Amino acid sequence: MIAKVVSVARWEYVEKVKSKAFLIGLFLTPVIMIGMGVVPTLLITQADTRTKIIGVIDPSGVVAQPLADLLQARYRLPDGSPNYILRPLTAGTSVDLEASAAEADRQTGAGDIEGYCLLGRSPEADTAIEYRSKSVGDIQLVENLQQALRIVLSERKGLSMGLDTSVIRALNVKLDMKQIKLSKTGEREDSSFLQVFFRAYVFLFMLFLLIVTSGQLLVRSILEEKSNRIVEVLVSSCSSTELMAGKVLGLSALGFTQIGFWALMGTIASLTFGIEFVTPGIAALLILYFVLGYLFYAAVFIGAGSPLTTEQEAQQVTSYLVMILVLPIALAFPAMQNPDATWLRVLTFIPLLTPTMMALRIPIQMPSTWEILATILLMLVSIFFAMIAAGRIFRIAILSTGKSPKIAEIFRWAREG
Amino acid sequence: MLSVSALRKEFSTGMAVDGVSFEAAKGEVFGLLGPNGAGKTTTIRMILNILVPDGGTITYDGAPFSDDVRNTIGYLPEERGLYRKSKLLDTIMYFASLRGMKRGAAKSAAAAWLARFSLLEFRDRKVEELSKGNQQKVQFICAIIHNPSIVILDEPFSGLDPVNQILFKDIFHELRTAGKTVVFSTHQMDQAERLSDSLCLINRGRVVLGGTVRDVKKKHGTNSLHVEFSGDGAFMSGLPGVRRAILYENAAELELETDAKIQPLIGAMNGKVDLSKFELVEPSLQSIFLQAVGESNAASVPAAVAV
């Protein structure tokens, strides 16, 4: 009995582990995750390593110099050299703006300068300023430039109002606002909105891809066995219970390989970059939900997949399940704005959504202990019944060919066996 | 030995198998014959426990079906298929392990069979890279690798090229010599006639004829006499024991009565024509079966109307 279950499990595991779909999922998923989540945040917040040259067209002729001085004084690279150098592209009042801008455009296009700043004619009145560059994504540069300009312009304004330079300096407060995330127990975590957002997304996507990849592999292999009647040989060699147990076992091994590999990569990445993406406790809890969700969906895929007879139907059914799985992704934003909302809790207690909802909620705000315990229990019970129902459907469905059975018929199999 | 008695299976579309009984002995090649849709495959699926019978019993070497029995049966399904993306040796090993073989034993047995079927060099190829004929060989290996005592083959010769047909037939004989029970289904009567020791003809879910090939022919067929001669053969149709005579120039086919005596016929002919060839021809299964199927269809028509 056990020997045959192991034989089936071994086959399912070894053959699928070698499949392209699995290998792509295994390696590509973390790459996509990193690409989606980590890299942009890293790039945005990372300090420059080289001096950037910014052009400036200053029709008034009085702003460029103080601005250059201020930038030079304020922003330094780690090696001590200036972070920004301001290159005046014209000076004086009698400027041909059109020609200057054309020249600045050319230099920007050639990559000589990062971009350039187009100032107004009168620094006191004209505060409509433009910054033109090839990429508008350099948030850090734009913000620094803006701050420096504000200081210079308000200094000029202050001076014209007869204020003392020291007073003006004192009025220019440099702001540095940091976001701190608080957990329920009041512990502080140093993370921004973006980080939390990406963290929630990353786990949700990983769980989603994990389930979809292996679910599709499973349905496709059952279809193959049905369509070329290998299933007859299988069912004459071992009972359908042994066959399904073997498939679930093999598939689980496959999923755990994937989870284990990703966890390993995550650990290595966080050790090398020195970032603690999530605490080990949260990681362990997430992995638990991954495992529970995976097993539950394995039963769902067997129950929904084994009655099918054509590839098109399989795609249809898979896409319905995908829709259910991605639902929490659509809810990520509102969930972050209001992590305590009742509707979030309610959705969490629908077994098809429990794992993904938890993968979404845990990185945002740890749900209360009773919710965690209750959902784990809910999942265990759901897995138990889903497996029994899937087994009943599987036993009848794998031998049926020709037209796919009606949904009512499938439910009858699940109930009666 | 495989013994089937009063087997019944009803589908929503009607009675597929209706009281089929037969016995296939050890060391015997048993042909399960019948036109398409007669109930052969349904019977086979019940023997393999793929379908549960509505009635009747099946015993395997005297014992009812059990998990142990699974390991003593080999099966080649009618529709051919293997895992296309998997390697040859892996596939064979998997099916062997499902029949309870240990990996070590399976590996050496697989190597031996692959060598026998000249597939050894392809053992690490994917199934889909093989020709159709070679895929059929692999499936055949999967059916017999675990040295089963009962081998069941559903239409084993359909789509097989002549070279492989000979190969399969050789293996049939080896299995028979080794004391296995070989049951195969076919709708090609000439094949059944050449290969099987015993047979059973099913039509519309019922057994129409059964027994050893010799018995069936004796019981249901009529012999005919093929003669070649010089002279006028017109008198032949009037000879005692001749039911019908088809005359050609210098040759004749004489359909005989069941109890016709051959010796007096030769004597009667010898005086009148100059005989150059004289051959007693057994009836073909083909003709017997066509007749039997025709009769059973005719017999079941009124019943169907009555319902």
Report how far residue A173's alpha carbon sits from residue A169's, in angstroms, rounded to the nearest whole number: 8
Torsions phi, psi for A214 (to 5 deg):
-75, -30
Asked whether the beta carbons of residue A399 and residue B73 sit closer than 8 angstroms, the reply is no
User: Are residues B113 and B181 both part of a single domain?
Assistant: yes
**Pick from A7, A228, A235: CB nearest B97:** A7
Report how far residue B91's alpha carbon sits from residue B139's, in angstroms, rounded to the nearest whole number: 9
| Best residue in A18, A221, A233, A234 for a mutation probing chain B (most B CBs within 10 Å) | A233
CATH at residue A66: 3.40.190
User: Are residues B265 and B247 both part of a single domain?
Assistant: yes
Residues from chain B that touch A401, judged by Cβ atoms under 8 A, are none
A8 in Cβ contact with A240 (< 8 Å)? no
Question: 3-class DSSP state for residue B210?
Answer: strand
The nearest alpha carbon in chain A to B78 belongs to A229
A313-324 pLDDT per residue, tens: 888 888 888 888
User: Are residues A246 and A229 both part of a single domain?
Assistant: yes
Count the domains in chain B: 2
**Pick from B70, B81, B85: CB nearest A236:** B70
B83 in Cβ contact with A224 (< 8 Å)? yes
User: Are residues B34 and B175 both part of a single domain?
Assistant: yes
| Best residue in A230, A241, A309, A398 for a mutation probing chain B (most B CBs within 10 Å) | A230
Residues from chain B that touch A8, judged by Cβ atoms under 8 A, are 98
Higher-confidence residue of A35 and B75: namely B75
Last residue of a domain, one of A144, A177, A210: A177
| Best residue in B79, B89, B98 for a mutation probing chain A (most A CBs within 10 Å) | B98
Report how far residue A156's alpha carbon sits from residue A142's, in angstroms, rounded to the nearest whole number: 21
Asked if residue B226 is part of any domain, the answer here is yes
Asked whether the beta carbons of residue B82 and residue A8 sit closer than 8 angstroms, the reply is no
A292 in Cβ contact with A268 (< 8 Å)? no
CA distance to partner chain A, nearest, from residue B290 (Å): 31
Asked if residue A334 is part of any domain, the answer here is yes
Judge whether residue B262 has pLDDT over 90.
no
Report how far residue B58's alpha carbon sits from residue A117's, in angstroms, rounded to the nearest whole number: 92
Last residue of a domain, one of A152, A177, A202: A177
Question: What is chain A's mean pLDDT, rounded?
Answer: 82
B140 touches chain A (CB under 8 A): no
Question: What is chain B's mean pLDDT, rounded?
Answer: 87
**Number of Cβ atoms within 10 Å of the Cβ of A129:** 15
User: Are residues A35 and A69 both part of a single domain?
Assistant: no
Last residue of a domain, one of B166, B199, B218: B218
Q: Which of residues 364-403 of A touch B (CB under 8 A)?
A: 399
Asked whether the beta carbons of residue A4 and residue B100 sit closer than 8 angstroms, the reply is yes
Judge whether residue B25 has pLDDT over 90.
yes
**Number of Cβ atoms within 10 Å of the Cβ of B129:** 12
Q: Checking DSSP bridges between strand B206-212 and strand B198-203, what pairing results, if any?
A: antiparallel
Asked whether the beta carbons of residue A228 and residue B81 sit closer than 8 angstroms, the reply is yes
Judge whether residue A192 has pLDDT over 70.
no
User: Are residues A37 and A81 both part of a single domain?
Assistant: no
User: Are residues B143 and B237 both part of a single domain?
Assistant: no
User: Are residues B206 and B230 both part of a single domain?
Assistant: no
pLDDT of residue A40: 61
Asked whether the beta carbons of residue B79 and residue A229 sit closer than 8 angstroms, the reply is yes
Residue numbers of the domain that contains A332? 2-41+192-416
Among A256, A64, A32, A271, CA closest to A148: A64
Higher-confidence residue of B134 and B220: namely B134
Torsions phi, psi for B59 (to 5 deg):
-125, 150
Asked whether the beta carbons of residue B48 and residue A227 sit closer than 8 angstroms, the reply is no
Strands (E) in B101-203, as ranges, are 150-154, 181-186, 198-203
User: Are residues B248 and B106 both part of a single domain?
Assistant: no
Asked whether the beta carbons of residue A11 and residue B77 sit closer than 8 angstroms, the reply is no
Asked if residue A132 is part of any domain, the answer here is yes
User: Are residues B152 and B246 both part of a single domain?
Assistant: no
Higher-confidence residue of A26 and A355: namely A355
Asked if residue A187 is part of any domain, the answer here is no
Report how far residue A43's alpha carbon sits from residue A139's, in angstroms, rounded to the nearest whole number: 10
Asked if residue B131 is part of any domain, the answer here is yes
List B246's β-bridge partners, or say none: B253
Report how far residue B289's alpha carbon sits from residue B33's, in angstroms, rounded to the nearest whole number: 9
Enter the ipTM.
0.81
**Number of Cβ atoms within 10 Å of the Cβ of A115:** 22
- pLDDT (mean) for B94-115: 93
A254-311 pLDDT per residue, tens: 988 988 888 888 788 778 876 666 778 888 898 899 899 999 999 999 998 888 888 8
User: Are residues A321 and A263 both part of a single domain?
Assistant: yes
A17 in Cβ contact with A254 (< 8 Å)? yes
A319 touches chain B (CB under 8 A): no
CATH at residue B245: 3.30.70.100
**Residue appearing with tokens 């509102």:** A334
B82 touches chain A (CB under 8 A): yes
Count the domains in chain A: 2
A218 in Cβ contact with A306 (< 8 Å)? no
User: Are residues A92 and A143 both part of a single domain?
Assistant: yes
Highest-confidence range of A95-109, B166-180, B264-278, by mean pLDDT?
Answer: B166-180
pLDDT of residue B106: 94
Report how far residue B148's alpha carbon sits from residue B69's, in angstroms, rounded to the nearest whole number: 10
Q: Rg of chain B's alpha carbons, rounded to an integer?
A: 24
Among B275, B273, B276, B278, CA closest to B231: B273
Asked if residue A256 is part of any domain, the answer here is yes
Report how far residue A303's alpha carbon sits from residue A300's, in angstroms, rounded to the nearest whole number: 5
B54 DSSP 8-state letter: S
pLDDT of residue A136: 67
Torsions phi, psi for A77 (to 5 deg):
-80, 165
- Express the helix, strand and coil content of chain A in percent, nearest 5 each: 70, 5, 25
B99 touches chain A (CB under 8 A): yes
- pLDDT (mean) for B255-271: 81
Report how far residue A221's alpha carbon sits from residue A219's, in angstroms, rounded to the nearest whole number: 5
User: Are residues B40 and B153 both part of a single domain?
Assistant: yes
User: Are residues A123 and A267 both part of a single domain?
Assistant: no
B166 touches chain A (CB under 8 A): no
pLDDT of residue A202: 78
Residues from chain A that touch B183, judged by Cβ atoms under 8 A, are none
User: Are residues B201 and B153 both part of a single domain?
Assistant: yes
CA distance to partner chain A, nearest, from residue B81 (Å): 5
- Give residue B304's pLDDT band: very low, low, confident or very high (50, 70, 90): very low
User: Are residues A225 and A327 both part of a single domain?
Assistant: yes
SS3 labels along A111-150 = CCCCEEEECCCCCCCCCCCEEEECCCCCHHHHHHHHHHHH
Torsions phi, psi for A248 (to 5 deg):
-65, -45
Contact partners, residue B5, CB within 8 Å, separation at least 6:
B21, B56, B57, B58
Residue numbers of the domain that contains B77? 2-218
Asked if residue B303 is part of any domain, the answer here is no
- Give residue B238's pLDDT band: very low, low, confident or very high (50, 70, 90): confident
Asked whether the beta carbons of residue A227 and residue B81 sit closer than 8 angstroms, the reply is yes
B141-153 pLDDT per residue, tens: 999 999 999 999 9
Asked whether the beta carbons of residue A229 and residue B81 sit closer than 8 angstroms, the reply is yes
Asked whether the beta carbons of residue B98 and residue A234 sit closer than 8 angstroms, the reply is yes
